[in-house]
Amino acid sequence: MQEFKDIVGKDFLQTERGTCYSYAVDGMIPRAVLFPGEVEEVSEIVKIACRDRLSVVPWGGGTRMTKGTAPSRLDLVICTERLNKVIDIDAGNLTVTVQAGVRLFDLQEAVAGEENRCYIPVDRGGTESDESVCSLRENRGCFVPLDVPAGNRATIGGIIAANDSGPRRLLYGLPRDVVLGVRYVAPNGEIIGMGGKTVKNVAGYDLCKLMIGSMGSLGILCEMTLRLLPLPERSGTWLCIFAGLQQTGTFADEIFARPLLPCAMEILNGEALNDLPVKWPERGEKRRFGVLAAFEGAEEAVGRMKAEMKSLADDAGALHKVYLDDDEHRSFWSRYRWAEADLSGDQNDAISVKLNYPVSCYRDVLEFVESAGMKNNAHLASYTHAGSGVTRIHLLVEDGSKDRFERILTWTRKLLMHVHGLGGNLVVEHAGRELKKTLPVWGAVRDDLKMMQWIKKAMDPEGIFSPGRFVGNI
């Protein structure tokens, strides 16, 4: 421990039980939590960890720490919160370079420039007021096209390591489309740099891609260069409420059949709808389905999408429509939660799963979810990123029944088998510690697991980085 203290300074090494407890991963409490302030410090820490075979788990904003299987051992948590510098905003080149611990909303604020048209809600202090301003004046304000549920806390490093994404991936893509370069600390302590500030780069293997979504099992992300996009001129969202899944699907499919370019087509079931901070008559009716159809871009294009989608919604038999204009749209999406990122880690009757499947299968999947049980005495909210082939489900079984573990497990397996049959998979994004032990956390194992094992073994031969947390207990 003295060596670690020498590296980070005594204030930034915590070994006290209380602190360590709040950095527990799936109930496993680390021996120490370190808060390095420089990439070089991370490197020095890892060199010692490597020498002494101490296991290391990196920690960003902590919003996705319930994802993954429980670590097989845990000695050190390396928290990136002090690696919080925005290194270079190059709006002219449409790139930004940041350290891993920068929080998404802080970064959005920084790249939005003088212009206030941005995605940052003002509720960071907990207040609900919204001071974001809309204007059409010419500006160079930009945004980072990443979309996650808790951007006020989630760090860039964590988002990339967890490969997190949200509804607006439909237009803006995934972390793999946004990350242009990374600097990370490898399991031997070496600092490795890949990619850079250019939007095209084929020099050497694309190890950036390997790092994205690797959940801290191959390296600790320290710096990233990301692509920026100009802030859209205008934006809007239609919330359309339908009597059932069939009408909802008709509406969504009609939009996909046209050349329109929505940025999100989010389908919500009745319980998810009722959690929305939007009002419409009949709110609370559980059997409804709804679509959040969002669009961002040039004023004329937004105007057209608003009009066409309205008439498509009417044609499909929308019961209610609510339109969120620019300011409301931004405020809404920045607060939108499609996953219970804030759930306490020990709650054993709740689970969040993410289903992935070919994009055309969303209706089939939703029908299956509706019929797969768990409707009685349970809160089941589903959020479908239509057009991206992803459904997220949050299930809370509140009845205190003795067999609820068993029922959740059976339900999860049923879903997994169904989407697997469609060519997809299931990942448990959140579950209580006890429940998780029995769940297929990373879904069905595929043939390519052996390639992943080869890579893990080559890059982390001692198995010290997040051991046991990734696919196939890598």
Partner 1 sequence: MDKKLLISALQEIVGDSNVLFSDMDLTLYGYDASLDKGMPDVVVLPGSSEDVASVVSLAHREEVPIIARGSGTNLSGGTIPTRGGIILHLSRMKRILEIDIPNRTVTVEPGVITLDLQNRLLEEGFTYIPDPASQKVSTLGGNVGENSGGPHCLKYGVTTNHVLGAEVVLHDGNVVWIGGKSQDCPGYDLMGLLVGSEGTLGVVTKMILRILRAPEAVKTLLAIYDTIEDAGNTVSAIIAEGIVPATLEMMDQLVMKAVEESVHAGYPLDAAAVLIIELDGLSDGMERQSQKILEICRANGARDIQTAKDDAERARLWAGRKGAFGAVSRLRPSYMVCDGTVPRTKLPEVLNKVLQVGKKYELPIGNVFHAGDGNLHPLILFDERDEQELAAARKASSEILKICVEAGGTISGEHGIGIEKLQEMSLIFSEADFEAMRKVKRAMDPRGVLNPGKVIPAA
Sheet strand arrangement including 179-185? 86-90, 95-99, 220-227, 179-185, 191-195
Map the footprint of partner 1 across residues 192-211, applying CB under 8 A: 192-194, 196-210
Q: Record the tokens describing residue 421, joined without a space.
A: 């049959």
H/E run at residue 175: helix 175-178
Residue 24 or residue 191: which is nearer to partner 1 going by CB? 191
Map the footprint of partner 1 across residues 375-394, applying CB under 8 A: 388-390
What's the gap between Cα 69 and its chain centre? 17
Of 38, 75, 90, 130, which lies in the binding site for partner 1, with binding defined by CB under 8 A?
90
CA pair distance 44, 5, nearest whole angstrom: 11
Q: Confirm or reject binding of residue 247 to partner 1 (CB under 8 A).
A: no
Which part of the chain contacts partner 1 (CB under 8 A), choosing from 239-247, 257-265, 266-274, 403-411?
257-265
* Rg value, the chain, Cα: 22
Which part of the chain contacts partner 1 (CB under 8 A), choosing from 126-134, 144-152, 294-302, 400-408?
294-302
Q: Confirm or reject binding of residue 110 to partner 1 (CB under 8 A).
A: no
Q: At 423, phi and psi to the nearest 5? A: 95, 20
Q: Confirm or reject binding of residue 186 to partner 1 (CB under 8 A).
A: yes
Which part of the chain contacts partner 1 (CB under 8 A), choosing from 77-85, 267-275, 339-347, 355-363?
355-363
Q: How far is the CB of 370 from partner 1 (least distance, A)?
A: 21
Distances (CA, A) of 214 to 35, 169, 220, 355, 451: 21, 19, 10, 18, 14
Residue 96 or residue 276: which is nearer to partner 1 going by CB? 96
Contact 320, 240 (CB under 8 A): yes
Q: How far is the CB of 371 from partner 1 (least distance, A)?
A: 21
Map the footprint of partner 1 across residues 134-153, applying CB under 8 A: 140, 142
Beta-ladder partners of 97: 88, 225
Q: Confirm or reject binding of residue 425 to partner 1 (CB under 8 A).
A: yes
Q: Confirm or reject binding of residue 356 to partner 1 (CB under 8 A).
A: yes
Q: Confirm or reject binding of residue 470 to partner 1 (CB under 8 A).
A: yes
Q: Which long-range contacts (CB under 8 A, 24 or more apart) does 202-207 make?
A: 207/182
Q: How far is the CB of 399 from partner 1 (least distance, A)?
A: 31
Q: Confirm or reject binding of residue 166 to partner 1 (CB under 8 A).
A: no
Q: How far is the CB of 33 from partner 1 (least distance, A)?
A: 27
Of 9, 277, 303, 421, which lies in the binding site for partner 1, with binding defined by CB under 8 A?
303
CA pair distance 124, 129, nearest whole angstrom: 10
Q: Confirm or reject binding of residue 277 to partner 1 (CB under 8 A).
A: no
Q: Confirm or reject binding of residue 357 to partner 1 (CB under 8 A).
A: yes
Cα–Cα–Cα angle for 40, 46, 51, nearest 5°? 130
Q: What is the DSSP letter of 130?
A: -
Of 18, 125, 126, 259, which lies in the binding site for partner 1, with binding defined by CB under 8 A?
259
In 102-178, DSSP assigns E strands to 142-143
For partner 1, how many residues bind (rule: CB under 8 A)?
Answer: 85
Of 48, 70, 278, 359, which lies in the binding site for partner 1, with binding defined by CB under 8 A?
359
Nearest one of 267, 260, 288, 278 to 324, comparing CA atoms: 278
Of 99, 214, 412, 466, which lies in the binding site for partner 1, with binding defined by CB under 8 A?
214
Of 91, 134, 319, 322, which lies in the binding site for partner 1, with binding defined by CB under 8 A?
91
CA pair distance 51, 53, nearest whole angstrom: 6
Q: What is the DSSP string of 342-411?
A: T--TT-TTEEEEEEE--GGGHHHHHHHHHHSS--TTEEEEEEEETTTTEEEEEEEE-S--TTHHHHHHHH
CA pair distance 267, 383, nearest whole angstrom: 6
3 state DSSP class of 225: strand
Q: Confirm or reject binding of residue 354 to partner 1 (CB under 8 A).
A: yes
Q: How far is the CB of 378 from partner 1 (least distance, A)?
A: 25
Q: How far is the CB of 207 from partner 1 (least distance, A)?
A: 6
Residue 116 or residue 201: which is nearer to partner 1 going by CB? 201
Residue 64 or residue 354: which is nearer to partner 1 going by CB? 354
CA pair distance 273, 268, nearest whole angstrom: 6
Of 60, 101, 166, 424, which lies in the binding site for partner 1, with binding defined by CB under 8 A?
424
Q: How far is the CB of 299 from partner 1 (least distance, A)?
A: 6
Map the footprint of partner 1 across residues 9-48, applying CB under 8 A: none
CA pair distance 183, 176, nearest whole angstrom: 15
Map the footprint of partner 1 across residues 226-245, applying CB under 8 A: 229-231
Residue 71 or residue 440: which is nearer to partner 1 going by CB? 440
